[in-house]
Chain A
Amino acid sequence: AQRVTQPEKLLSVFKGAPVELKCNYSYSGSPELFWYVQYSRQRLQLLLRHISRESIKGFTADLNKGETSFHLKKPFAQEEDSAMYYCALSGYHYNNNDMRFGAGTRLTVKP
């Protein structure tokens, strides 16, 4: 069964500190992993996806199949990074049926 676990509901760091939001998954096949973000009073939007191997707004995430993890990292957090972050998994590379989301982590970056 597909499952996404985000162990931290809340995470608070100071501006300029490194931040890591944890995501673990369970899936028997080859998953596609995503991070979605929701800023205050905005809609949910895609932050990055593992297949692109890109850095967005200074964030990166590496898929570790051995540890079944897809942690989101940023070396120097900014106040504007404060938001709700959701890790998501899709079991298909086509048609995107059944996207599973974690419960989310609320990141607060303090000045």
Chain B
Amino acid sequence: ETGVTQSPTHLIKTRGQQVTLRCSSQSGHNTVSWYQQALGQGPQFIFQYYREEENGRGNFPPRFSGLQFPNYSSELNVNALELDDSALYLCASTPDRGFYNEQFFGPGTRLTVL
């Protein structure tokens, strides 16, 4: 069950712009989490959605927002981009059955803010 996909693979934006990143997980994976991974760091938790409701949030400002859809896809939206938002963004889904907290990661979207 490693079918999590993310798009786009790479993205370049300028400061102040807005960006939408997409994730698609498998049927039965009703939990999706988003992470930001800066260069040389571990993933940092942004937020988590369960059945289209936000289910936890890390220490990120409100300009980071998300949506989850019934078809197991989700979005991460970032407004008013800053240079420090340059990072790899990962989504991870968790199946409803199986071990709690086992997350299946996508390949990530590399965002560069100029």
Contacts and interface: CB of A to CB of B under 8 A. Distances in A.
B94 A96 contact: yes
Contacts of A32: 100-101
A98 B31 CA distance: 12
B83 to A, nearest CB: 21
B43 A96 contact: no
Interface string A2-13: 001010010000
Interface residues of A, number: 27
Interface stretch (A41-49, A56-64, A72-80): A41-49
B43 A34 contact: no
- Select the residue from A51, A94, A101 with max chain B CB neighbours within 10 A: A101
A97 B48 contact: yes
A43 B55 contact: no
A103 interface: yes
Contacts of A100: 45
A99 B45 CA distance: 6
B2 A45 contact: yes
B40 A103 contact: yes
Contacts of A97: 33, 45, 48, 55-57
A104 B35 CA distance: 15
Interface stretch (B16-24, B64-72, B73-81, B104-112): B104-112
Interface residues of B, number: 30
A77 B105 CA distance: 25
Contact of A43 (B48, B57, B102, B107): B107
18 contacts: A6-B42, A43-B106, A46-B102, A46-B103, A93-B101, A95-B48, A95-B50, A96-B94, A96-B103, A97-B45, A97-B55, A97-B56, A97-B57, A98-B58, A99-B45, A99-B101, A101-B44, A103-B41
Interface of A: 4, 6, 9, 32, 34, 43-46, 49, 51-52, 86, 88, 90, 93-104
9 closest A-B pairs by CB: A97-B56, A101-B42, A44-B105, A96-B101, A97-B48, A101-B43, A43-B105, A103-B42, A43-B107
Given A95-B48, A99-B43, 4 more contacts: A95-B31, A101-B35, A101-B42, A103-B40
